[in-house]
Amino acid sequence: MTSVFVLNGPNLNLLGGREPDVYGTATLADVERTCREVAGELGLMVDFRQSNSEGQLVDWLQEAGAEAAAGRAIGAVLNPGAYGHTSIALHDAIEGTRLPLVEVHISNVHRREAFRQHSYVSPVAAGIVVGFGVAGYPLAIRGLHGLAGRPAADPGLFR
């Protein structure tokens, strides 16, 4: 069975209790459950992970890239957390493995502080989902699934 990686960066383990006015009250376990439901509908397995460590995320992106290259995964959904704003290493891991990836941010980073408005991940992402709360995760899985197997310039319609 084909899988989809859902990778979460620093502080996302705190979801539910962390700034609920910004990130909502759903926990990361709630997000995982929703991801499994929507992936199940699409016939995909989910590899759902979270780490506060940049190097761990790089290792996981490389693993996801290898799985995608082998045809065992459609790619990855990544909420890079704050590393999206700082990490050339995440950018290079995605680019270097040609990993099909959708970047997710729960909050609308573009109407927050200026330092959240640049992402090192966005230029190497196939798509970006920003500001839909945790509902962005299932949207990203559907989007990635819709893109799977299509040329980058021809996303077509989501099924």
**Choice between 19 and 37, CB closer to ligand DQA:** 19
Catalytic residue among 91, 105, 120, 145: 105
Q: In the block, which residue shows the tokens 């995320």?
A: 57
What minimum distance in Å lies between the beta carbon of 109 and ligand DQA?
5
Exposure of 33 in the CB half-sphere (CA atoms within 13 A):
5
**Choice between 105 and 145, CB closer to ligand DQA:** 105
Is 23 noted as a catalytic residue in this protein?
A: yes
List residues binding ligand DQA (CB under 6 A): 11, 79, 81-82, 105-107, 109, 116
Is 83 noted as a catalytic residue in this protein?
A: no
For 33-97, give the DSSP string.
Answer: HHHHHHHHHTT-EEEEEE-S-HHHHHHHHHHHHHHHHTTSEEEEEEE-GGGGGT-HHHHHHHHHH
Say how far residue 22 (Cα) sits from the centre of its chain. Answer: 18
What minimum distance in Å lies between the beta carbon of 83 and ligand DQA?
8
What minimum distance in Å lies between the beta carbon of 106 and ligand DQA?
4
Encoding tokens for residue 103?
């970047």
**Choice between 18 and 98, CB closer to ligand DQA:** 18
What minimum distance in Å lies between the beta carbon of 17 and ligand DQA?
13
- Identify which of 142, 135, 146 has the alpha carbon closest to the alpha carbon of residue 108: 135
DSSP, res 14: G
**Choice between 67 and 76, CB closer to ligand DQA:** 76
Query: Which residues participate in catalysis according to the annotation?
Result: 23, 105
